[in-house]
Amino acid sequence: MRKNVDKRHFTIEKKLNRRDFLRVFGLGAASLAAAGMPRVIFAGRQSKGPNVLFIGVDDLRPQLGCYGHRQMLSPNIDSLASQGVIFLRSYCQVPVCGASRASLLTGVRPCRDRFIGYDTWAEKDLPGGLTLPKHFKNNGYHSISNGKIFHHTNDCRDSWSQSPWRPKGPWRNYLTEKNRQLDRTVGSGPAFESADVPDNAYFDGMIADKAISDLRRLKNMDKPFFLALGFLKPHLPFNAPKKYWDLYKEKDIDLADNPFRPKGAPDAALHNWGELRSYADIPKKGPLPEKTARTLVHGYYACVSYTDAQIGRVLAELDRLGLRDDTIVVLWGDHGWSLGEHGLWCKHCNFETSLHSPLIVRAPGVSGPKKTNALTEYLDIYPSLCELCNLPIPAHLEGKSFVPLLKNPDIPWSKAVFSRYYNGDSVKTDRYRYTEWRRKSGEVYARMLYDHSVDLVENVNISELPRNKELVQKLSKMLESVRFNR
């Protein structure tokens, strides 16, 4: 036994510096002690503890009705928001799915050799790290993963009380034979599909079916549950049942108002949106034809409405089973998404479109609707759920519980939040977004600064204006205070 423990310590220490090592591994004793905690008082009565319904939506930008977007039809998410708190300025740590999820689920920031790309494995980048679902499992919760929670189904497998589940089949989930054939022979089909099929013919409908089945079983358990649902749309390809495409008229779809490179933006800020270009019907270089762009935005809208309907089915079942008053619901998207802004598509950049991400929380005892403009990060979700459920907050967490905001959304809060994508470190303050790109040596080779009080859509980089020299230095020091290559 002792030999195994020593080997595990060595594995972690190779990946982390001494401070990180102590923070991550120092939580073990608290976690073990908490496993024997007495039953907590919740909602004013003796209880086995609140349940958690943890809903992640892949590539969901905050383009929802409850965020003020009139074209988007998202009635079920909007209804959830009307019963809870909407975080209007919530930000992911990394604008790519695998790394963002690994950071959120471990409560640890990204750095140069940790949580980098879409295919991140949390257990490889942070061996021995205590994940959010494992912490709940260790404290008496029955934890379940349905759909895409970690990027890899088997990542941190010991976080769950039962084997993680995803629908079977090729991940692009084409249903028409023509597109399936293209996917098999060419390696990718079109960037969208509109099959006339029932909701559960595509994966997200299957995930909702599985969640509903699980809720019926979990209701009668003698322990609380942590049920994680990872919906796959609106990730590419934009495949959704035809009826959700029919909700929108393509001619009425709005395209980006700023489909051009920001004035003064460095090359480091831009990319060739390779994820989208890998699809069969997308040109390999140059801008998209307007018709293609409009169809893609249409497809994104259809997919959001499709997934919204599946979320509505799950929430309706939660109510039907009488579980609402005992269940905390957290809805998040793993990062934002570009729909032609700055000539970009997908994520993979340090602009607001990729970093600004939705977050909605409904909790028993918290009245809604409420909105908060407080700056929050996805790192804040882990400690907040711990506090809401009366669990110890592990010492390694780098976020800040936002529970006070659920009661009073207007109280003073964080001065800044931080994100990273490869060499680009970004800080968002109340007024500004500043990003700088550094080589491994520490040399800054590119930067950009946007004043969100007059340029929220980030069309003019003002980092090189002489009048902003001191401001740039100040914001750079803020980045240094949480330097990700520590």
Q: Which residues are catalytic?
A: 97, 151
Q: How many other β-carbons are positioned within 10 Å of the β-carbon of residue 286?
A: 8
Q: H or E element: which one contains 51?
A: strand 51-57
For 378-443, where are the E strands, in sequence order?
416-421, 424-429, 432-438
Tell me how far apart the alpha carbons of residues 421 and 59 are, in angstroms, rounded to a whole number: 16
Q: Which residues, 6+ apart, have CB-to-CB distance to 166 below 8 Å?
A: 146, 147, 148, 153, 203
- Backbone phi and psi for residue 264, each to the nearest 5 degrees, phi listed first: 80, 5
- Show the tokens assigned to 162: 């039962």
Residue pair 330/80 in contact by the 8 Å Cβ criterion? no
Nearest to 240 by CA among 191, 184, 282: 191
Residue that has been written with the tokens 């997908």 in this structure: 346
SS3 78: helix
Q: Measuring CA to CA, which residue among 29, 62, 37 is closest to residue 352?
A: 62
Q: What is the DSSP letter of 461?
A: -
What phi and psi, each to the nearest 5 degrees, are found at residue 230? -110, 95
Question: At residue 267, what is the residue type?
Answer: D
403 contact partners, CB below 8 Å, separation of at least 6: 384, 387, 388
> 437: closest CA among 449, 428, 446?
446
HSE toward the beta carbon, residue 82, CA cutoff 13 A: 9
C-alpha angle with apex 67: 96 to 322, nearest 5 degrees?
A: 90
Token pair 């307007």: residue:
290
